[in-house]
Structure 1
Amino acid sequence: MKKRTYLLTALLLINCAIYSQSNLSMKKISLFKNSTCLVSKEGQLKVKDGSLTLPIPASALYGTFWIGSAKENSLKSIVFKTDTLKTSTTAKYIDQVIRANIGSDAILVIKSGEKNEKNISGKILSYIPESGLVKVKEENGKITFINYEKIEYLTFSSDNSKFMNDSITRTAKLNFEKSAENASLMEYYLQLGMNWIPSYFLKITNDKEARLEMKATIENYAEDINDVEAEVVVGAPQLYYGQMLDPVTYNYITQASSTYSTLSYIDNNMLSNSLAQVQTASPYGGNASDESYYSASYTTEGEKNNDLYYYNLGKNSLPKNSKGIFPVFASTLGYKDIYKAEITDKVNYASNMYCNTNEDNCDVYHSIELKNSTNFPFTTACVMVLTEKGQFMAQDQLKYTPTGAVSVIKLSKAIDVVMKNSEEEITRVDNYKKIGKTTYNKVTIRGTITVENLQPKQVAIDVIKHVNGSVTNNGDSKVKKQKTYNSVNPYSDMNWTVALNSGEKKTLTYEYEVLFAPYQY
């Protein structure tokens, strides 16, 4: 007969599974990016004496827990209370193994000194948890009590590692109008403990196209998911009561003030300690080359509903206290390289009343402009960018991009595009204007921007210069002026698009006026 031996130091740690009197099957989950999830359950359960008992989700949010029955046998009432249910638990420790095998024949190896061992064969009659004593009827008929801490090995003729334990939990007793044998039920609740995190992988394929792939990392710290329809949601639904729990989840009275809006925030740190990592199989297939792994396109069925977009991931499984990665889509998109530089008002004459004439270096950033030509929006998330050869280029944020719109991803500083900016005061008029009780002087400042392309290709650079003043000579730029409430000078932005061939250098000039009060204390 096959024996089963338990080595105490190598027992596998397995989570407990609670089986209540009845439980509905999970049918669908809708995950949001704020650590909440809408769960829907459905099924037909047996009714005894016109009622049945269901477990209640521990973290259902305020006002979102609903149970409905079929019209053939409607609900009369639901009573919520804290109850004790029998729990089928997988043994983790030696005392639990003993409890799981009461009434079984066993061979017990007992520690006797540092090197000596003693074997006892017989039937386990009972276990006394208060003292840790195991009552064994030996083969010779004698009754022996053994401290379980002295047991080094246990050998059984069959594998039985399950034992019944008492579990304190919140339950719902459903009372029906009719005393039927079965009841068809549907359950909805929005709960904490499930989250999804999007991320993107952008791989350049040529000078005009790039392949964008999106994955969803799902974190499950609420309950087991077994072959359930799953969807991840793009958008920000209103959650007026935040993370406030529904009154049915706790066994104390709800204060009146608790029914008003709460400003509490959902803490993602509570989801940080994963016990397992799960990744689904790659949808692209292929052999060993990078080309075959990251070339195919695929889509996930989606649906726009008002201001939210739902990506349908199909049926998936994910145990409690684990994380999983699920592919969402991959598509080839058009892009173009763009170069951009924003130059601040380095003088700010109205405040400093001094013009720094030094020629300062200005950073030019290389970015790509990606057009969303898909039928679904891009949600805000991290994006990693690689070259055609698989070399790292950047990690940036891809912002929400609806269908047909463009998004800009910053790659790096363009070190081969050199830009410098200098300014000088060219005229001054004292006592130029009196506004209220303050007399202002006026200065005119001339600025110069030089741009040189040292790259082996042509580039187009978007240059923006910010000044606190009124532009009088825009130097062929587009000027945008914005009034300010705490200054007599407006904010002005000058914008040029500069096309440069390889090795070409251009100079931009501009002038602006600034009013300033000469005596400021």
Structure 2
Amino acid sequence: MATTSNNTPAHASHAYLFKNGYGMIVKTFEFPSNNKTNGQCIELMDPPSNPVHGTFWIQSLSNKTSITSIRTKKTKKNVDKECFSVEDLVEANVGENVEILVADDVRQTKEWITGKIKSVKRFQELSDDEDTNPAMPSGPVVHSFPGHHTISSRLPSSNFHSSHNKSGDLVLFETADNGLLGLTLTSIKSIRGATLKTTYPHKISKNCLSIDYKNDSGSNDTGLMKYLTYGITWAPSYNLVLLNSNDPSTKRLRLSSKAVILNDIENMTVDNLFCIVGFPNISKFASVIDPIISGDDVKTFLNSLTQCETTHSRGHGHSIMSNSIMTQQMAMPPMSSNISIPDNTSQDVNVDDLHLYEFKNILLQKKERLMLPIFDVEIPYKDIYHCKINSLQSEYMHSGYGEKKPFEEVWHSVEFENITNFVLTTAPIIITKGDQEQQFIGQDTLTYTSKGLTAFVNLTKALDVQIQAEENVVNTNPKRFTFRRTNYQSDNIEGKISVVNYKTETIVVVVNLSLTGKITNHSVAPKKDVMKTNENTVNEQHDIRWEINVKPKQTLDITYNKIYNRSV
């Protein structure tokens, strides 16, 4: 059977990076053609070290090649090693004309001798057992993942030149007058020469995947290797600059986005690199290394599966799954007619519920950090004063309805529509003012925003805008009713939200109110009222949004009435 040895390719046709530390790597390699009926074998050395269980696959991309089996093995390979000692230099220069400094410990003399190193005879040869590749280990070692530990086996590596008795090493040296000397390696104190070699060949055992296959098509075929692995990710961030303008009616901002690639696994060149926005379902087996690579014994492998199932059933897998969508604006406002889509940006790729930022021909070095720009556009915006009120909290619901509440937190924010060709993923955003000045305003979190939806970014707390919310019980219906074995009475509640503008200009105030109860009327029509109810709840839930203009020094009240069913 013909055998071909190759390194696992460092070239990836595709790489898909999630924000939770995992990446899907896709590589290709060749199945050479051979018309022999006994088949062929190709050995891929240095396979990936920690592919997730069930995600490591090797296949042919056509029906010209049939794979018979894939097995793990060790193969011997000569590698060049750097010389770190005189002993290394002696071995590296076998067959070369050199000068050596030989010490006689008995006579306590040293002498330079010119000649050729014929051979170096090691007292104990251990090099064939050395393995410098950490993949497919074979002794106890702990693989760390977020929130998980799995055990596999690995033997400790040994240093070649410290693993034996150097005093027994024999050097055969041919002098200039053709005399042959037998010297101990330790007696040679120095070596010099016009063309001294500083590396030497060393045979080691390498982990590899041995693939038995048959390809009698007469032409080479393409094979595919793919795997999900931990240790490569991307981190997005945004830069928002409020641009100066002489016309107060025209407000524009500059929004930029970048991706930082963190690669801790391997060197590779990637034809198509995708940074993914979405919520991947990869938690269940994320802590288990594929058994063909891990080298785990049966007990260890089954224990890791058991631990994985237990952790997943307890719901701890969410920390691994959490990726990019933390908050999503649900409003879907129409696009303004005077806004044009920027034509200087590429477009993300939408695959089901995942969005992909695509980059071409990227070189990724292990332990290197790489910054890639995504887009840089100007967008119209408007200033708003934003307040979120949550009356679902118990302090609003069950007692003290007549008590006046403290002032709510009001933020001066900017509101803009995502008119880019990309979804905006959850990430930190820095806000500055002036393209030249770059005056620092603050830092916020930009939440997930689909194309065409509205995004909010908080700038500063608004001290000149005050909002107070209160609810009062007007009356209670004495008639009781039972719902799911619990008795209830209905309270008629009047709510009021007071907005005070101490500024010298008209402002836009956005109030988001979350409340429980059936709304019967309101003094100001909301821009949005999303009602949530089901057969298991006795009260409706509302997410209401008001958007109002408040004049300078004006106090504006929003009132509403609701019926709240209270347990008694």
> Normalising to structure 2: TM-score of the pair?
0.66
Q: 1:403 aligns with which of 451, 472, 478?
A: 451
Distance in 1 of aligned mates of 2:562 and 2:519: 4
Structure 2 CA distance for partners of 1:65 and 1:385, relative to 1, 3 Å: same
**Does 1:80 pair with 2:71?**
yes
**Does 1:68 pair with 2:53?**
no
Structure 2 CA distance for partners of 1:132 and 1:419, relative to 1, 3 Å: farther
| Residue of structure 2 in register with 1:277 after alignment | none
Contact in 2 for aligned 1:69/1:75 (Cα 8 Å): no
Structure 2 CA distance for partners of 1:306 and 1:420, relative to 1, 3 Å: closer
| Residue of structure 2 in register with 1:372 after alignment | 418
**Does 1:322 pair with 2:368?**
yes
Distance in 1 of aligned mates of 2:170 and 2:427: 60
> CA-to-partner distance for each residue in 1:203-229, whole Å, 9 max, x for gaps?
222463222222222222333214744
The Cα of 1:41 is off from its aligned counterpart by: 1.5
Contact in 1 for aligned 2:11/2:268 (Cα 8 Å): yes
| Residue of structure 2 in register with 1:145 after alignment | 184
Structure 2 CA distance for partners of 1:170 and 1:21, relative to 1, 3 Å: closer
**Does 1:174 pair with 2:212?**
yes
**Does 1:417 pair with 2:465?**
yes
Distance in 1 of aligned mates of 2:565 and 2:217: 87
**Does 1:160 pair with 2:198?**
yes
The Cα of 1:177 is off from its aligned counterpart by: 4.6
Contact in 2 for aligned 1:39/1:189 (Cα 8 Å): yes
- Aligned AA (1:343): I
Q: Which runs of 5+ in 1 are unaligned?
A: 1-18, 269-295
Distance in 2 of aligned mates of 1:306 and 1:439: 46
Contact in 2 for aligned 1:226/1:318 (Cα 8 Å): yes
Structure 2 CA distance for partners of 1:457 and 1:145, relative to 1, 3 Å: farther
Distance in 2 of aligned mates of 1:171 and 1:421: 68
- Aligned AA (2:232): M
Which range is displaced more, 163-172 or 434-443? 434-443
**Does 1:41 pair with 2:28?**
yes
The Cα of 1:313 is off from its aligned counterpart by: 1.6
| Structural mapping, 1:295-306, within 5 Å | 299-300=345-346, 302-306=348-352
| Residue of structure 2 in register with 1:464 after alignment | 512
The Cα of 1:308 is off from its aligned counterpart by: 4.2
- Aligned AA (2:27): S
**Does 1:433 pair with 2:480?**
yes
| Residue of structure 1 in register with 2:326 after alignment | none
| Residue of structure 2 in register with 1:361 after alignment | 407
| Structural mapping, 1:271-310, within 5 Å | 299-300=345-346, 302-310=348-356
Distance in 1 of aligned mates of 2:421 and 2:396: 50
The Cα of 1:169 is off from its aligned counterpart by: 0.6
Contact in 2 for aligned 1:464/1:495 (Cα 8 Å): yes
**Does 1:31 pair with 2:16?**
yes
The Cα of 1:26 is off from its aligned counterpart by: 2.0
| Residue of structure 2 in register with 1:186 after alignment | 223
Structure 2 CA distance for partners of 1:481 and 1:226, relative to 1, 3 Å: closer
Q: 1:221 aligns with which of 264, 269, 285?
A: 264
Distance in 1 of aligned mates of 2:552 and 2:101: 84
The Cα of 1:412 is off from its aligned counterpart by: 3.4
**Does 1:344 pair with 2:390?**
yes
Structure 2 CA distance for partners of 1:475 and 1:241, relative to 1, 3 Å: closer
- Aligned AA (1:38): I
> CA-to-partner distance for each residue in 1:417-472, whole Å, 9 max, x for gaps?
222234555x4457343547877666555444332223454321112344444445
Which range is displaced more, 213-222 or 122-131? 122-131
Q: Which runs of 5+ in 2 are unaligned?
A: 124-160, 245-249, 321-341
| Residue of structure 2 in register with 1:275 after alignment | none
Contact in 2 for aligned 1:202/1:383 (Cα 8 Å): yes
Q: 2:251 aligns with which of 205, 208, 225?
A: 208
Distance in 1 of aligned mates of 2:486 and 2:403: 28
Structure 2 CA distance for partners of 1:394 and 1:81, relative to 1, 3 Å: same
Contact in 2 for aligned 1:51/1:173 (Cα 8 Å): yes
| Residue of structure 2 in register with 1:500 after alignment | 550
Distance in 1 of aligned mates of 2:99 and 2:447: 64
> CA-to-partner distance for each residue in 1:123-162, whole Å, 9 max, x for gaps?
77536631245655597975543559x9799888445335
Contact in 2 for aligned 1:202/1:213 (Cα 8 Å): yes
> CA-to-partner distance for each residue in 1:49-103, whole Å, 9 max, x for gaps?
74432234333442541232766x6346234122133152553854895487252
Distance in 2 of aligned mates of 1:506 and 1:238: 48
- Aligned AA (1:78): S
| Residue of structure 2 in register with 1:15 after alignment | none
Partner of 1:249, secondary structure, is helix
Structure 2 CA distance for partners of 1:67 and 1:362, relative to 1, 3 Å: same
| Structural mapping, 1:222-237, within 5 Å | 222-226=265-269, 228-236=271-279
Partner of 2:387, secondary structure, is strand
Distance in 2 of aligned mates of 1:119 and 1:356: 105
- Aligned AA (2:58): W
Partner of 1:361, secondary structure, is coil
Contact in 2 for aligned 1:106/1:154 (Cα 8 Å): yes
The Cα of 1:500 is off from its aligned counterpart by: 1.9
The Cα of 1:360 is off from its aligned counterpart by: 1.1
| Residue of structure 2 in register with 1:5 after alignment | none
The Cα of 1:187 is off from its aligned counterpart by: 1.7
| Structural mapping, 1:440-519, within 5 Å | 444-478=492-526, 482-483=532-533, 488-492=538-542, 495-516=545-566
Contact in 1 for aligned 2:32/2:215 (Cα 8 Å): no
Distance in 1 of aligned mates of 2:407 and 2:220: 76
Structure 2 CA distance for partners of 1:495 and 1:131, relative to 1, 3 Å: same
Partner of 1:362, secondary structure, is coil
| Structural mapping, 1:5-20, within 5 Å | 20=5
Which range is displaced more, 197-206 or 157-166? 157-166
**Does 1:131 pair with 2:142?**
no
Q: 1:52 aligns with which of 42, 45, 68?
A: 42
Aligned length: 465
Q: 1:249 aligns with which of 288, 293, 297?
A: 293
Distance in 1 of aligned mates of 2:441 and 2:80: 50
| Residue of structure 2 in register with 1:391 after alignment | 439
> Normalising to structure 1: TM-score of the pair?
0.71
Contact in 2 for aligned 1:121/1:138 (Cα 8 Å): no
| Residue of structure 2 in register with 1:197 after alignment | 235
Contact in 2 for aligned 1:25/1:43 (Cα 8 Å): no
Partner of 1:28, secondary structure, is strand
Q: Identity rate of aligned residues, in percent?
A: 20
- Aligned AA (1:202): L
